[in-house]
Amino acid sequence: MAAMEVNGLHKVFRTKTKEPGLRGSVQALLRPTYSEVVAVNGISFEVETGELLAFIGPNGAGKSTTIKMLTGILNPTAGSAKVLGLVPWEARRQLAYTIGAVFGQKSQLWYHLPALDSFRLLGSIYEIDGKDLERRLSQVVELFELDEFIKTPVRKLSLGQRMRCEIAASILHKPKVIFLDEPTIGLDVVAKLKIRELIKRLNEEEKTTIFLTSHDAGDIEQLCKRVIVINHGEIILDTSTSYLRHNYLTTKILNVKFAAPCPELSLSNVEILKHTEKGVKFRVNTKFNSIESVLSELFAQVDTEDISVEEPAMEVIIRDIYGRPAGEGEHNAAG
């Protein structure tokens, strides 16, 4: 059964335009001109119940606008959508009891209060009473391992801890669908891994349908089976993550810091981007060479102190998708 059905969803914003400088400002004041910005351009897709879907794209692609329409925050300019059988912008309040949303850049926790107090307040917003709330709180605290810091004011939490609390806050009312908009934005590697693990557990243990937006390719690779890529408001790819991985997420950049100076280094099938006595930065195409074999070759030549792996930037993936000839890959919606 489909948890979400979206057909030809379209959103146009009318924005004021002005020439740069003071003169432009005066002109805009006397004779304002407007232009239309198409944020979402006729997108259609379905999401099955219990699915963990990645909805990815670069900044300004239309991800957040889509989520805002699917949660009823914004009215679309055209098109239709149903979430759990309800039209979001017509039955916003009714739908709010069955969905949850986390906007990575907008907190739903009270900055000066411990997360526990915010949870209790959210309990009253979602009309969860007495014992039910206590039972749910203990489940959520256990699932998200919040015990250590649930009584600490939110302002004193790390970004990773805060994000765990944000997601926990959004599932207190046991939503059937949860929208996570950039939940790993600004987090360090360890915190990112923790959030990914928790999202996975949420999907597996509570059977929650998860609609995840991110511009971190790592989130998608490690969490989702299906991915929709959006750019300039249009869906350019709707495919499986394994297809995306094998065809588009093929380059990784490795940053290696040496334990001792190493002026000479020879690595096969990699593109060296920078090499100094202290370290090396190189690009690996995993289609032709596995990370494992490159690292074995590296370890045979030098002792390392630190290694980090960079995923390809979303802009590179998008460029790659557009660069493919039409029809290559059955799911390529961009053509």
**Contact footprint for another protein (CB under 8 A):** 13, 64-65, 68, 71-75, 92-94, 96-97, 101, 103, 105-113, 117-118, 120-121, 124-127, 153
Taking the complex as a whole, how short is the minimal distance between the CB of residue 253 and another protein, in angstroms?
A: 28
Residue 213 or 247 having the CB closest to another protein: 213
Residue 129 or 264 having the CB closest to another protein: 129
Taking the complex as a whole, how short is the minimal distance between the CB of residue 137 and another protein, in angstroms?
A: 15
The DSSP output letter for 49 is: T
Taking the complex as a whole, how short is the minimal distance between the CB of residue 281 and another protein, in angstroms?
A: 31
Cβ atoms of 9 and 76 closer than 8 Å: yes
Residue 50 or 153 having the CB closest to another protein: 153
Residue 109 or 318 having the CB closest to another protein: 109
Query: How buried is 304 (Cβ within 10 angstroms: 0-12 exposed, 13-18 middle, 19+ buried)?
Result: middle
Residue 69 or 321 having the CB closest to another protein: 69
Which residues fall within 8 angstroms of residue 316, CB to CB, at 6 or more apart? 251
Residue with tokens 């670069």: 58
d(CA 43, CA 239): 15
- DSSP E strands in 175-333: the ranges are 177-181, 209-214, 226-231, 234-240, 251-258, 270-275, 279-285, 304-310
Bridge partners (DSSP) of residue 333 are: none
SS3 256: strand
Taking the complex as a whole, how short is the minimal distance between the CB of residue 298 and another protein, in angstroms?
A: 39
Query: How buried is 69 (Cβ within 10 angstroms: 0-12 exposed, 13-18 middle, 19+ buried)?
Result: buried
Phi, psi of 162 (to 5 degrees): -60, -40
Q: Which token pair is 96?
A: 């709010």
Which residues fall within 8 angstroms of residue 30, CB to CB, at 6 or more apart? none
Residue 75 or 138 having the CB closest to another protein: 75
- CB atoms closer than 10 angstroms to residue 299: 12
d(CA 123, CA 139): 14
Residue 78 or 125 having the CB closest to another protein: 125
Residue 21 or 130 having the CB closest to another protein: 130
Taking the complex as a whole, how short is the minimal distance between the CB of residue 149 and another protein, in angstroms?
A: 16
Give the strand pairing for 270-275 and 99-103: unpaired
Taking the complex as a whole, how short is the minimal distance between the CB of residue 210 and another protein, in angstroms?
A: 16
Residue 112 or 201 having the CB closest to another protein: 112
d(CA 40, CA 70): 12
Taking the complex as a whole, how short is the minimal distance between the CB of residue 295 and another protein, in angstroms?
A: 38
Taking the complex as a whole, how short is the minimal distance between the CB of residue 209 and another protein, in angstroms?
A: 17
Taking the complex as a whole, how short is the minimal distance between the CB of residue 72 and another protein, in angstroms?
A: 7
Length of the chain: 335
